[in-house]
Amino acid sequence: MNDYKKIFPNLPERISGLGELAYNLWWSWHPAARMLFKSMDRQGWKDSIHNPVRMLKEIPREILEATAGDEEYLTRYDGVISEFRNKIKPKRCWFTENITEAQCSPIAYFSAEYGLHHSLPFYAGGLGFLAGDHLKECSDLGLPLVAVGFMYPGGYLRQRIRVDGWQEEVAAPLDRDAAPIARALDEKGKQLVVKVPCLDPPIYVGVWKVDVGNIPLYLMDTDIEANDPWNRQISAQLYIGDLEQRLRQEIILGIGGSEVLEALGIKHSVLHLNEGHPAFAILEQIRAQVNKGMNFDEAAGYVRNTSVFTTHTPVPAGHDVFPFHLLDKYLGSYYPLFGLSREHFFQLGAHPRSPEAGFNMTALALRMTGYHNGVSKRHAEVARRMWQPLWPQAKEEDVPIDGITNGVHLPTWVDPKMELLFNKHLGKDWLERHDDPETWKPVDDIPDKELWQVYIWLKIKLIDAIREQARKRWAEERRAASVNVVTSGTLLDPLALTIGFARRFATYKRAYLIFEDMERLKRLLTNRWRPVQIIFAGKAHPSDDEGKRILQHIFKLACDPNLGGRVAFVEDYGEQLAQHMVHGVDVWLNNPVPPMEASGTSGMKASINGIPQLSILDGWWIEGFNGKNGWAFEGSGSDKKDAEAVYDILETEIVPLYYKMDEDGVPHGWVEVMKEAIKGTAPQFSARRMVKEYTMRFYRKSLEAAAQP
């Protein structure tokens, strides 16, 4: 428990609950809670980059005291704090009402990254936000879950684009004391430090805790004094390129993470692995049973019945394979603890087609867990084909990999202004029922003009935010006005049809596709009466030169006056920019190479805010597209043909529909599609539907198995 009085000495007693609230990310998905901080001091809120811990530390005492004497504020404060206290320790919730084993021991969720809020930059992309949204929804539904991961204190890389368009990374070290994280403490009141088992020489991790509503997230930090410099570097960066350092990360994540739960006295019974990186955690589950007297096979059988594994990608780089000599180096003294020979141990991670290739973390996870899934129906099919060799007796369609399609946490990704609109039209408790399609029927009755006006406001807000960033860089960093300021979005026009494309610059996502036919694109963008503009954002992995070349190519095109200033590249894509973009563009473009986009989630975030997608049929869109809620095309296997499909849809459907305004200035046909996007996406592609599915299909059975004597 934090001593909030010590952390925020200036905070008056009457509003002292703000201390606890600032340290629980619950505030971030409750607009009224967010407003408590924002309305106290708008500039302070902005200066803190929407980080209440930092704001409460830096804000002048007079403002805090004035706030504590403001009756209107105090009424809101009391309301929020009492809701917070009730929700954090609920007496009843969906989980206890539907699952009988309510008092069961917790589910341990392991992930290498978590995207929760930009003040905690422990993520690279979609996998992280999926994990973050999972935790938030588990909190809302009352699941007994604890989460484990890494904090990357030195590793968040801000993106800077040079004048020649090449991406550079600027490390932004984490200020641990200004982030909403607290040291987990031992009995003596010192930060808990845990020794990772079985490593010689030993490695230690410092333990931190993030409160995500009522879900605790424990993060490990190797950058502590007990470790030598090489070991301190282990948690420096996400998905480090060096294989040996990467293996060490994954040993710490899986094995060290299990030890952390042990040291905290948390007796979890069920394990959920988010992707293969933490798969060593399974071995620790088995070891615990072996220590209780089971032999390896018995222990493995037990652990299988209580473990869940989610695979997230068909892209080969997403599946770690480690050479055997590195395993020997670090885990040589580990194999015997299971009564296993070296060869038998290696077989646990062998890919049947190429057992000599090394130790495959996905193969380990699939072999040793009983419940596995891909992240959409299509991805499950692809994963069944990919991993069929692990089940040589099974026909491809019988390979036991299910599909549980991803979803996004609605309260996080719906814009607060939209939320107000929904409050008004969907009935007060709509958020409680948001995974029920019935809840969304009244969207049809929202007056078009009202929806359109909210939406235009959000679009202007996006363009404002982009211009403000460009202005700052120009003024403070003396950026080259002719290149960086022009391309970073200062020429954007709020009246033009705006396409958004923002995601990691992985090659398969094909950010370059729309530039395939420059003449045709130019005609679209520079049409005098019906102009189109495109906003790009996204980072290439620091060691992905191919991704950086694609980015540079786009940046250079954005500088080309022939495209009329209609292409912008906005630097430093992260949670904040993502929020602005999925609320404020007109169309979300998605054109990966099928079937590489296992699910994709940014299109869901846009759709729930009324921004329809133009997407290739891959990932979630195969399930999501219903003919009315956006636009779709089949992948052809050729860049040229796929690009033609994009132009065709833009020219014949999207542009005419968007610009067909009626006398009242509202494009009613377009608003119709916006409404369909909201109705067709919000219930089905919510994290609520997803977490309920994990619970009913996997967690419940695992919890039952764990409760067997």
Residues engaged in binding ligand PLP (CB under 6 A): 125-126, 129, 503, 574-575, 578, 600-602, 605
| Residues near 388 by beta carbon (within 8 Å), at least 6 away in sequence | 394, 396, 399
Closest distance to ligand PLP from the beta carbon of 698 (Å): 22
Least Å distance between CB 506 and ligand PLP?
8
Distance from C-alpha of 148 to C-alpha of 649, rounded to nearest angstrom: 44
Cβ proximity to ligand PLP, 312 vs 367, nearer residue: 312
CB of 600 to ligand PLP, least distance (A): 4
Q: Is the dihedral of CA 327, 330, 336, 337 positive or negative?
A: negative
Instruction: Evaluate whether 329 touches 322 at the Cβ level (below 8 Å).
Output: no
Closest to ligand PLP by CB, 564 vs 574, is: 574
Rounded to the nearest whole angstrom, what is the least distance from the CB of residue 590 to ligand PLP in the complex?
7
- Report how far residue 406's alpha carbon sits from residue 540's, in angstroms, rounded to the nearest whole number: 23
Q: Which is nearer to ligand PLP, 125 or 206 (CB)?
A: 125
Query: How far apart are CB 206 and ligand PLP at their closest, in Å?
Result: 27
Residue 561, CA atoms < 13 Å, CB-side half-sphere: 1
Please identify, using beta-carbon distances, which residue of 139 and 601 lies nearer to ligand PLP. Answer: 601
In whole angstroms, the minimum distance from the beta carbon of 348 to ligand PLP comes to 31
Contact 85, 213 (CB under 8 A): no
Specify the residue, 115 or 165, whose C-beta has the smaller distance to ligand PLP. Answer: 115
Minimum CB distance to ligand PLP, residue 686 (Å): 14
Q: How far apart are CB 544 and ligand PLP at their closest, in Å?
A: 15
Whether 606 contacts 578, CB under 8 Å: no
> What minimum distance in Å lies between the beta carbon of 592 and ligand PLP?
8
Q: Which residue lies nearer to ligand PLP by CB, 160 or 342? A: 160
Residue with tokens 């235009």: 456
> Nearer to ligand PLP by C-beta: 384 or 409?
409
Alpha-carbon gap, residue 106 to 89, rounded angstroms: 15
Alpha helices in 360-447 (DSSP H): 361-368, 377-387, 410-413, 416-425
CA distances from 227 to 148, 221, 251, 345 (A): 21, 11, 16, 28
In whole angstroms, how close is the CB of 17 to ligand PLP at the nearest point? 30
213: left (phi over 0), alpha (psi -120 to 50) or beta: left
The amino acid sitting at 491 is: L
Q: How far is CA 649 from the centre of its chain?
A: 30
Pairing of strands 359-360, 321-322: antiparallel
Nearer to ligand PLP (CB atom), residue 269 or residue 615: 615
Crossing angle, helix 518-525 and helix 639-649, to 10 degrees?
Answer: 20
Q: Between residues 448 and 586, which has the closer beta carbon with respect to ligand PLP?
A: 586
Cα–Cα distance measured from residue 280 to residue 303, given in angstroms and rounded to the nearest whole number: 13
For residue 579, how many C-alpha atoms fall within 13 Å in the half-sphere facing its CB? 21
Please, which residue, 350 or 414, has the CB nearer to ligand PLP? Answer: 414
Q: List, in order, residues 6 or more apart from 312 with CB less than 8 Å away.
A: 127, 130, 274, 275, 318, 374, 375, 598, 599
Find, among 402, 313, 387, 185, the residue nearest to 599 by Cα: 313
Stated as kind and residue range, the H or E segment containing 668 is helix 668-681
Half-sphere exposure of 76 (CA within 13 A, CB side): 18
Nearer to ligand PLP, 165 or 600 (CB): 600
User: Closest distance between ligand PLP and the C-beta of residue 461, in Å?
Assistant: 17
**Smallest gap from residue 113 Cβ to ligand PLP (A):** 11
Q: Which is nearer to ligand PLP, 80 or 678 (CB)?
A: 678
Q: How far is the CB of 601 from ligand PLP (least distance, A)?
A: 4
CA angle 318, 323, 325 (to 5 degrees): 155
Instruction: Give me the phi and psi of 24, to 5 degrees please.
Output: -125, 120
Q: Tell me whether residue 129 or residue 422 sits nearer to ligand PLP (CB atom).
A: 129
CA distance 582 to 575: 11
